[in-house]
Amino acid sequence: MTQRKVLTRVRCVPRVGLEHTEVREIEVDCDQPHDDEFLRESIERFFSRRGMGEALYDLEVDDNGYFAVVNDEAYQQSWGKSLF
C-alpha cells in the first residue's frame, strides 16, 4: 500500500510579534495532516530545508485549524505567503 502525500496549508504566526513579523501561510507535504506529530515534523522539515531549523516554536489549534507559532528571528528570511 502506497502512502499518499497531502498538501496542507498551515498558518504561521509570530511568537512575539515584533515590527518585522506578520502572519504567513506555508504549504507542507504531510502523510497524515490531522496528526499533531506528523504535521509538526512536516513543518520542521519545511523550515530546516531553508536553513531555519529552530523556526518552529509550537503547534497549536483553534477554530480555524492548526497554526504554527514561529520564532520571530525566522521572519528575517523570505518564506511563505503573507496573509495580510
Centroid of chain to Cα 32: 15
Q: Backbone phi, then psi, for 44, in 5-degree steps?
A: -60, -40
Q: In this predicted structure, what is the pLDDT of residue 77?
A: 94
> The C-alpha cell of 26 is what?
506555508
Q: How confident is the model at residue 1 (pLDDT cuts 50, 70, 90)?
A: low
Over residues 30-52, the pLDDT tens digits come to: 766 567 888 999 999 999 999 99
Read off the pLDDT band of 76 (50, 70, 90). very high
Cell of 10: 498551515
- Cα dist. 31→36, 57, 79 in Å? 11, 21, 22
Q: Output phi, psi for 29, to 5 deg.
A: -85, 130
The per-residue pLDDT for 54 is: 94
Instruction: Judge whether residue 2 has pLDDT over 80.
Output: no
Full-model pTM = 0.86
In whole angstroms, give the CA distance from residue 64 to residue 31.
20
**pLDDT at residue 60, rounded to an integer:** 95
